[in-house]
Amino acid sequence: MNSSSGKSYMSTASSSVLWKAGGDVVADQFPAGLRVLLVDDDPTCLMILEKMLKACQYNVTKCNRAETALSMLRENRNGFDIVISDVHMPDMDGFKLLEHIGLEMDLPVIMMSADDGKNVVMKGVTHGACDYLIKPVRIEALKNIWQHVVRKRKNEWKDFEQSGSVEEGDRQPKQSEDADYSSSANEGNWKSSKRRKDDEDENDERDDTSTLKKPRVVWSVELHQQFVAAVNQLGIEKAVPKKILELMNVPGLTRENVASHLQKYRLYLRRLSGVSQHPSNLNNSFMNPQDATFGPLDLQALAATGQLPAQSLATLQAAGLGRSTAKSGIPMPLIDQRNIFSFENPKLRFGEAQQQHVNNNKQTNLLHGIPTTMEPKQLAGLHHTAQSMGNMNMPVLSHGSQSSQNNPLLMQMAQPQARGQMLNDSTVGLAPRLLSPRGQSMLSNGMATNVSTRNGVPENIRAPSYNPVSQTSSMFNFPMNHTSELPGNSFPLVSTPGISSLAPKVAFQEDVNSEIKGSVGFMPSYDIFNDLNQHKPQNWELQNVGMMFNSSRPSNSLQGNLDHTQSILVQQGFLSGQNRNSTVISKAMFSAGDSTGHVNAQNSNQHLNSLLDNTVRVKFERVADAAPANLYPDHFGQEDLMSALLKQQDIIAPAENNDFDFDGYSIDNIPV
Amino acid sequence: MELVQIQRSLVDYTKSLFMEGFLDAQFLQLQQLQDDSNPDFVFEVVSLFFEDSEKLLNELIIALDQPNVDFKKIDSHVHQLKGSSSSIGAQRVKNACIAFRNYCDVQNIEGCLTCLQQVKQECYLVKNKFETLFRLEQQIMASGGSVPTIELGF
């Protein structure tokens, strides 16, 4: 069914396949043959409508009493495609009938009345009518009623796909479950998309305060990984909650938990695939289609290649998920990450605690500099991937995966969706270079998007990020490894989604220079980056990314270790302005001239948007080879971090021309 | 009379009905629904309407004659009448129903009675009009001609 449903989503023509019109052979001539049940107590209207419907080539059954209609429907549940009913009827109120039908048969129902008062129409809406026609009804109005049938079917299939059951209502409560995922924006987003079947990101707030019937399930990293593994095993198209649940074999987990998580996941994947909701795009989705430069960063592929550790993949996916689902998307990893990462690395200075969602926190870990804990697998994943990506412009996956440093940052610019988390990750690695000013949120896109993405952000991130990427493919090659010096630079990748600019080009690697430069302000540093062979684990990339790529701003927080020589990572602008909310300030610390090249890029990812102010302040921090520990303050709140950083560094390089055009990602602070 | 003349008469007559507000565009919809498979469709529907409306009007008379007028019921009837009259395009009847409902809402019996009379009158008038119309159509068809379709060009 999935496949066919996919088709049917697409076109009504294909939906004819769905119509196995009770015996009618008109399946291919849809909407001809649509089986309509007409209910009206007025004989004149009944006659006219019947004639009209027949003129539309529908298959009409009429009755003048609601009771009769109901019994007809009950006897033959699948005998009708749609019901048209009058509002005012003597034996039963039309709305009552509507309710019955909705509950028992779940058919689309159109209400009709000569009454066009707003209240009545509203009542129709609230009772679930899919349309309301005002009498006198014209034939033109009837010609299109088939759309309601298609729409309903489409929704049903989606439901089916996602949760294994066709209950729409089922979902709502689940959403509340996910509330713990953190960003309500995500949640709202998810919900809305659920409802609307479109993939707008709006509705951040549709926060579901509703029925929280069950205790929330926290999708930890491990749990999510299990989930993803199960899904992959089943095949994304066939993954139904029941089977997933079985495969996961987690005690205490219910099918509903899985179903709702699956929904989110699917949404996430869809978003990744570039916005179109193609279930099939799932795998590619990590990359924004636009960001083709990266080439499809297929996380899964990456994972397959071993580049991306499974965990990372999961994380990333989770991150992605998180994003799309309005909630902080990756609920899991990210949230956990926060704990995991960041703070494991004390060094991470970055920290400004990301304001962003938790994700950010994770991101900070990206500061690769801190090899430690960044465990967040995600991070690792990211990095890892990043590395493998080589110079890919890897979309910064800002998943929380902030794999610790060595993992290539997967900066997948994964769709701009700012998965908040992603950015974190991405920023980390990428950060340093990336920030290609190009506005495109370079890596940040990937990352930025992730950054606490606000739903809106993704947009930004998306496109832009790739720009940089393309440019520099090598850009952020820093894959985190570069960060050699950057101690724990887990630049707090500000997960700001905004970090688009961070262009996850994480590949800052050496090549970064040119590319990144522009935005990254690192200009000079690019070379440095090149030099940075030392790849310190820092994930500048991430950091940079974190920098807030406040999307739209080219926040190039360069983070990267420039060990060599003074590569100074310019932290662009992120610091400036940003700070705003929790953006992590990632400072790239460059150990200019120092062998250590610790660069701690801290990106303050305030909303990436702010970064885009171009007030990039480049902070150069030359950190002597001091033990990184000093450098990285422990999780600091944003302010703390800032001050800590400031203390540590004395250098604050002026931001260079950052013309990062980060797409408005807002980089949340990347908690260090 | 010559066929052509009758046809012209029909057309003119129909147009006048529109002009005078007896009929509206919905009637044209009805006419469009009529086809060879159902050549008397309009006639059937209109006949049905008058049958039904007569019943409704009687109900209304009775209801308004009660000591305790049940306005809800009256409103319901009038609503239905409004719906069916609008469905066949009997515009003036419909308008009279709308006025009737307004009085009903404020529970003005006098007003309701007046409106009831008005509705009755309009029904009667449009019924006559239709009868003339159908007669002309029958004549045309009896002469072997086809009923011209009216196009509202005005």
Whether B15 shows a pLDDT value over 70: the answer reads: yes
Question: Two tokens at B104?
Answer: 């009903």
CA atoms within 13 Å, Cβ hemisphere of B130? 23
The reported pLDDT for the residue numbered B18 is 93
The reported pLDDT for the residue numbered A208 is 42
What residues in B contact A52, CB-CB < 8 Å? Answer: 29, 33
Cα–Cα dist A255/B127, whole Å:
65
The reported pLDDT for the residue numbered A358 is 41
B150 occurs within a structural domain: no
What residues in A contact B82, CB-CB < 8 Å? Answer: 114
Query: Mean pLDDT across the stretch A83-89?
Result: 92
What residues in A contact B88, CB-CB < 8 Å? Answer: 44, 48
Query: Mean pLDDT across the stretch A309-321?
Result: 47
Burial label for A533, CB within 10 Å (0-12, 13-18, 19+), is: middle
The reported pLDDT for the residue numbered A275 is 53
Instruction: Give the closest-approach CA distance of A90 to chain B in angstroms.
Output: 9
Of B44, B83, B89, the CB nearest to A42: B83
Most confident of A268-272, A360-364, A465-469, B18-22: B18-22
Answer whether A494's CB lies under 8 Å from A366's CB: no
| pLDDT, greater one: A136 or A456 | A136
Instruction: Give the closest-approach CA distance of A51 to chain B in angstroms.
Output: 7
The reported pLDDT for the residue numbered B99 is 94
Whether A217 shows a pLDDT value over 50: the answer reads: yes
A221-272 — its CATH code? Answer: 1.10.10.60
Buried b / exposed e across A390-399, counting CB within 10 Å, b at 16+?
bbbbbbbbbb
Name the band, by pLDDT with cuts 50, 70 and 90, for residue A323. Answer: very low
Whether A519 shows a pLDDT value over 70: the answer reads: no
Per-residue pLDDT reduced to its tens digit, A584-597: 333 434 333 344 43
Burial label for A126, CB within 10 Å (0-12, 13-18, 19+), is: exposed
Q: What percent of chain A has pLDDT over 70?
A: 28
Whether B9 shows a pLDDT value over 60: the answer reads: yes
B45 occurs within a structural domain: yes
Query: Mean pLDDT across the stretch A474-481?
Result: 40
B contact test, residue of A38, A41, A48, A143 with most B CBs within 10 A: A48
- Into how many domains does chain B fold? 1
Per-residue pLDDT reduced to its tens digit, B63-74: 998 888 889 999
Per-residue pLDDT reduced to its tens digit, A391-403: 444 443 334 334 3
Q: Which helix (H) or strand (E) element contains residue B118?
A: helix B109-142
Query: Mean pLDDT across the stretch A544-550?
Result: 39
The reported pLDDT for the residue numbered B22 is 94
B103 occurs within a structural domain: yes
What is the chain B residue with the closest CA to A115?
Answer: B79
Residue A235 region by backbone torsions, left for phi larger than 0, else alpha for psi between -120 and 50, else beta? left
Of B32, B44, B87, the CB nearest to A135: B87
CB-based contact B87 A55, cutoff 8 Å? no
| pLDDT, greater one: B146 or A333 | B146
The reported pLDDT for the residue numbered A476 is 39
Name the band, by pLDDT with cuts 50, 70 and 90, for residue B1. Answer: low
Q: Per DSSP, what are the bridge partners of residue A664?
A: A551
Per-residue pLDDT reduced to its tens digit, A344-385: 444 444 434 444 444 444 444 444 444 444 444 444 444 444
Per-residue pLDDT reduced to its tens digit, A111-167: 999 888 899 999 999 998 999 999 999 899 999 899 998 988 888 787 777 765 444
For the ranges A38-47, A217-226, A254-263, A502-511, which has the lowest average pLDDT? A502-511
Domain range enclosing B118: 1-31+41-143
Per-residue pLDDT reduced to its tens digit, B80-105: 999 999 999 999 999 999 999 999 99
B80 occurs within a structural domain: yes
Whether B116 shows a pLDDT value over 90: the answer reads: yes
Size of interface A-B (CB pairs under 8 A): 62
Mean pLDDT for all residues in chain A: 55
CB-based contact B33 A51, cutoff 8 Å? yes
Question: Two tokens at A356?
Answer: 């962003």
B132 occurs within a structural domain: yes
Query: Mean pLDDT across the stretch A640-651?
Result: 51
The reported pLDDT for the residue numbered A241 is 86
Of A45, A47, A88, the CB nearest to B76: A88
The reported pLDDT for the residue numbered A609 is 41
Name the band, by pLDDT with cuts 50, 70 and 90, for residue A48. Answer: very high
Whether A482 shows a pLDDT value over 60: the answer reads: no
Q: Is A117 on the interface with B (CB under 8 A)?
A: no
Of B33, B52, B79, the CB nearest to A88: B79
Answer whether A62's CB lies under 8 Å from A38's CB: yes
Whether A229 shows a pLDDT value over 70: the answer reads: yes
- Domain boundaries defined on chain A: 35-159, 221-272
B153 occurs within a structural domain: no
Question: Two tokens at A159?
Answer: 């439901």
Name the band, by pLDDT with cuts 50, 70 and 90, for residue A640. Answer: low
Cα–Cα dist A463/A147, whole Å:
34
The reported pLDDT for the residue numbered A37 is 94
Whether A435 shows a pLDDT value over 70: the answer reads: no
Specify the CATH number for the domain of residue B98: 1.20.120.160
Per-residue pLDDT reduced to its tens digit, A91-118: 888 998 998 888 887 889 999 998 888 9
Output the CA torsion B69→B74→B75→B81 (10° steps). Answer: -160
Whether A635 shows a pLDDT value over 70: the answer reads: no
Q: Is the dihedral of CA A509, A511, A516, A517 positive or negative?
A: positive
Answer whether A307's CB lies under 8 Å from A380's CB: no
Domain A35-159 homologous superfamily, CATH: Response regulator (3.40.50.2300)
